Amino acid sequence: MEKYLIEQYDVIEDNRWLKDVRDIEVYFEDIARDYMECGQGYYQDYADFTCKIGDKFYDVNVFAEIGSAKQDVGDRLYWIDNIERITYHEIEKPNPKPITSVTYTFKVTSSELAGINDYLESNSIEYEKETDK
């Protein structure tokens, strides 16, 4: 699979478990729990995924039922109680997104620079670093 499909679209291809379109519902009922975020004070009850099976691509929508409990201190704790529904349909192969090159000049402390670098790396943003002391 082309690198841009993973980096730009987070396309999921699992040749072991996703062999046919009929595998989509079972597969995403299991893995959606790992991708959908829940915790103290926040939850995600809907998520979109793109998967590849053979040469075809599918848009997958997962809807979850959320459970919660009041905590002694702080916000409620949320979790995925149940996957309510999974819908999907075939889509065209996504095209590469256009890339724009931008130059910024920052005046930052070393800790701020570390935070910027962490952000860029965690979001797979390519960059060239030129430091001036």
pTM of the model: 0.78
Residue 109 lies in a domain: no
- The candidate with the shortest Cα–Cα distance to 67, out of 84, 79, 51, is 79
Residue 118 lies in a domain: no
Residue 72 lies in a domain: yes
Residue 121 lies in a domain: no
Query: Total structural domains in the chain?
Result: 1
Residue 123 lies in a domain: no
Q: Which residues form the domain of 20?
A: 3-96
User: 42-88 pLDDT, tens per residue?
Assistant: 999 999 999 999 999 999 999 999 999 998 888 999 999 999 999 99
Q: What are the Cα distances from residue 47, in Å, to 5, 65, 70, 89?
A: 18, 12, 25, 15
Residue 11 lies in a domain: yes
